[in-house]
Amino acid sequence: MKPLSLPCARTAIGLVLCAATLPSAHADAVTDWNLKAHAWVAEARLGTPPAIRVLALVQTAVHDAVLAAGTAASLDAAVAAANHAALRQLLPTHLSAPVTAAYQSALATIPPGAARDAGVAAGEQAAAAVLRKRADDTAAVAAAAAPAAGYRPHTSAGSYVPTAMPALPHWSQRKPWLMSSAAQFRPAAPPALASEQWARDYNEVKEFGARASTRRSAEQTEVARFWEYSMPTIYYGVLRSVALQPGRP
C-alpha cells in the first residue's frame, strides 16, 4: 500500500479519499467492504471510540460469516450480508439508504441460487449473533457502571492532574472482547518522581515534543502528525496494507 501523504492523514474526508486510491488488484469483498464502512463511519461523525467499536462489531461479524459460509456458500454474499446487517443497526438512520444500495449492488454481481442464498443467511446470522452478544455493551450501560468523574486538585508534586477533560471516562467499564477484564494488562505505576528514569523521560518529552524542537527530525514530526489522527481509518489502513501483500488469502 502506498503510504498516505500528510494532507490525507489530516482529515477524515482526506483519509477516505486516499483509501479509495488503494490498489485493487488483490482486493476482495472483505477489503472492499472495509473501505465502504470507513467512508460511512467518517460521514456519521461518531467520534473515535464509538467508530472503533462499530468497526470492531462489523469486522467480527464478517469474520464469523466467512467461517460459517465454508465452501458451500458464496463468500462475497456472506461478507456483503454481514456488513449490511451490522451497519444498518449501528450507523445513524440517514446512512441506511447508501448501505442498502451498496448491498443490493453487491448481490447483483453474484449469480442467484443456493450459494448466494446460503451466503446471505450466513452473513445475516453472524451479524445478529455478534450484535446480540454485545447488546449489553452500550455507552449507557458503561456510563451507569462508571464512577463519577470529576476534577480533584492535588497539592503535592508528582500527582498527575488532567490538563483537559477526559474523553469517555466510562469506556473502561465496557465488556472486553477477549480479555478477562479491562485491567488485565494495565501497566505498572509510573517511575518515582525523584528517579533518574523520570528525569530522563521528562527531558526527552520536553526536548522532542517542543513546538520549535531542534532535536526532532522532520520525519519524526511527520510521523507524529500522521498518528495524531485517531479514527479507525488509520489502523485499518495499516491492516489492509498487510492483508493485500502478495500471497495472502
pLDDT in tens, 120-161: 999 999 999 999 999 887 666 666 665 555 556 666 777 777
Least Cα distance to 39 among 52, 20, 58, 63 occurs for 20
- Sorted by sequence, the CB contacts under 8 Å of residue 190 that are 6+ apart come out as 160, 198
Confidence (pTM) = 0.74
Query: In whole angstroms, what is the distance from residue 235 CA to residue 231 CA?
Result: 8
Q: Quick one: DSSP state of residue 20?
A: T
Least Cα distance to 95 among 49, 36, 43, 54 occurs for 43
Least Cα distance to 60 among 82, 43, 77 occurs for 82
User: What pLDDT does 182 receive?
Assistant: 82
Cα separation values, 176 from 131, 170, 184, 220, Å: 14, 13, 10, 33
- Sorted by sequence, the CB contacts under 8 Å of residue 163 that are 6+ apart come out as none
Question: Residues 12-56: pLDDT tens digits?
Answer: 334 333 443 333 333 589 999 999 999 999 899 888 888 888 999
Question: Residues 47-103: pLDDT tens digits?
Answer: 888 888 899 999 999 999 999 998 889 999 999 999 999 999 999 999 999 999 999
User: What pLDDT does 21 receive?
Assistant: 38
With the CA atoms of 57, 63, 68 and 74 taken in that order, what torsion angle do they form, in degrees rounded to the nearest 10? 110
Higher-confidence residue: 105 or 154? 105
Please report which helix (H) or strand (E) contains residue 72, including its range: none
